[in-house]
Amino acid sequence: MKIGFIGLGIMGRPMAKNLIKAGYSLVILNSGKPSAEELKALGAETAVSFADIGSRCDVVITMLPNSPEVKDVVLGKNGVIEGARPGTVVIDMSSIAPLSSREIYAALGEKGIELLDAPVSGGEPKAIDGTLAVMVGGKKEVFDKCFEIMKVMASSVVYVGESGAGNIAKLCNQIVVAINISAVSEALVLAKKAGVDPELVYQAIRGGLAGSTVMDAKAPMIMDRNFNPGFKVNLHIKDLNNVLETSHEVGVPLPLASQVLEIMQAIKVDGAGVEDHSSIVKFYEKLANIEVTR
């Protein structure tokens, strides 16, 4: 089986490498970028266009920033749809708007091409070690066919429902992550301003009900002032915009998610848009005139 992989960024590159390590034959775009050259050195074949990738592969995986990029790569001029045969499966592992997923699903379906919307959670560290969480929407029989491929990149691969359901689940995930980072930031700023070592506070509460995967991932980064992006603020803003657009469509008020979105917008204005979303802490530090360090 040949797999096309489109989108070799922070997340896509390690995901693609894990597929090669697992023995899959990979086809990538011959872009000349360092990420493509690295994968070529590992044995990946190259293609001249997205349509070329579609024509040569049984499965095509996309890992792109947002809905417009996925639509362009899959449905646009020289896109995957122009080369793919009936029965080809596109697995979109990007985080995009559910409505866009359903539009792409319908367009591909007219050509006999299947789509799974399969966004991931876990950031760069889990992409590297192959322990992402994948939430999947689409036909159950297509999910079953592609389960082992996705499992190479993840420790958890869960079928959520029909087309668009995977991206609904990802939006729910992004609400919880954003609010959790915000809560961790508030707590650590309070500890520091009150004269208590934030590292000791973190150790004291992480084993109780307040403990979480988010806390364990982000609290050490905050205290080390390490804001190198595992997941950029700009991308989380994109996700929360999709959250609110979807919530308004279905009639669900989301007061906390909207508040955290505004916090992220504030730190983006201050120049932190390309930093890790743990830099949410900078908003609270500015209010309290304190910096959280160990």
Q: Say whether 67 sits in a helix, a strand or coil.
A: helix
Query: Catalytic: 170?
Result: yes
Distances (CA, A) of 124 to 83, 187, 190, 206, 253: 31, 25, 29, 22, 31
Longest Cα–Cα distance of the chain, Å, equals: 64
Please provide residue 140's backbone torsions phi and psi, each rounded to the nearest 5 degrees.
Answer: -60, -40
- Alpha-carbon distance of 44 to 189, in angstroms, equals 46
Catalytic residue (choose from 17, 170, 192, 268): 170
Candidates 26, 3, 27; CA nearest to 89 is 3
CA dist 6 and 212 (Å) reads 32
Between helices 233-250 and 165-193, what is the axis angle to 10°? Answer: 120
Helix or strand holding residue 287 (H, E): helix 281-288
Residue 154 phi/psi, 5° resolution?
Answer: -150, 155
The rounded distance, in Å, linking the Cα atoms of 83 and 51 is 4
Q: For residues 54 and 81, is the Cβ–Cβ distance under 8 A?
A: yes
Give the dihedral of Cα atoms 78, 80, 83, 84; nearest 10 deg.
-170
Residue 232 DSSP class: B
Angle between helices 198-205 and 165-193 (to 10 degrees): 130
Active site residues per annotation: 170
